[in-house]
Structure 1
């Protein structure tokens, strides 16, 4: 009696057909991988609280996405006369950082008053405008919160965990800001 087992080329054809149907199904539902952001401007100036960790990471992310980023420490235009107007290169958009703060709040205690739970918060407020003061993005507040348990016998480990959570929140805020800047379609 002959076995009903499909041959290798036939199995391969069935697998290719199944994979092709899956890919077509995913493309039909609107699924697409996230692409690199495109911006309506080529040059952006970061002002306000530009020395904070979030602002520095945001500057690096914008540079990595192909934008020219200017700050108060950006050197004067090469070959320009030494006038105050020539000292600051002109940006197409101005990102003003209004608030960049980290908070650590006690949210749980034992009956003896010992801390058992903390809440870590990162608040970032910014706006985007043109040099002619046309508002592109009005004041936006991004607030991220993370809960963390606390044990005084594990202070070093909890400190490392806290720093990791702050780093994660900082990266999340940077990605949110980059996506919002990419959503601006025209100056």
Structure 2
């Protein structure tokens, strides 16, 4: 019994001393940010807004003049292309692409992050007999790519010095 408790204490001490910490939202060096150039009800804009609002330091505002910085979407596109097909023309593999082109600037127009493109790709096998399941898999892959894009954008925003 005492031996088990001692092992438990040693294990807890080892974890406490290793520096383990759960991932949290990055701390941004500006208080307010505006999102511009996104389409109406853009899922990427909504996820960005939620992730930025989760940080303790920054709030997303509705208009650019009220913001310290403006995250401007230059392009937000999803693409799908056939990578492999059979001799009979049946699709066997698809490539999904999610492309986000953006820049960060002050409301006065000074660029903090020049025009930058994030391009993610995923390959997906395809069978006509499982079309409905593959449609759901495609949607899940696009959601995953969108979350990856948001994480990359947040890391880039965290590296920007205060304006």
Task: Give the TM-score normalised by the residue count of structure 1.
Answer: 0.76
Say which of 129, 142, 146 aligns to 1:166: 142
Aligned counterpart for 1:99 among listed residues 70, 75, 88: 75
- Give the structure with higher Rg (CA): 1
Distance 2:10 2:103 in 1: 50
Task: Report the count of equivalent residues.
Answer: 161
Structure 1 unaligned residues grouped into runs of 5+: 1-7, 75-87
Question: Per the alignment, do residues 170 and 22 of structure 1 end up closer, same or farther by CA in structure 2, a change over 3 Å counting?
Answer: closer
1:57, CA displacement in angstroms? 2.0
Aligned equivalents of 1:23, 1:60: Cα separation in 2: 30
| Residues 171-182 of structure 1 aligned to structure 2 (within 5 Å) | 171-182=147-158
Q: Which runs of 5+ in 2 are unaligned?
A: none
Name the structure 2 match of 1:56: 46
Cα distance, 1:186 vs structure 2: 1.7
Post-superposition shift, 1:110?
0.5
Aligned with 1:147 (options 98, 123, 142): 123
Are 1:35 and 2:15 counterparts? Answer: no
RMSD of equivalent CA atoms: 2.0
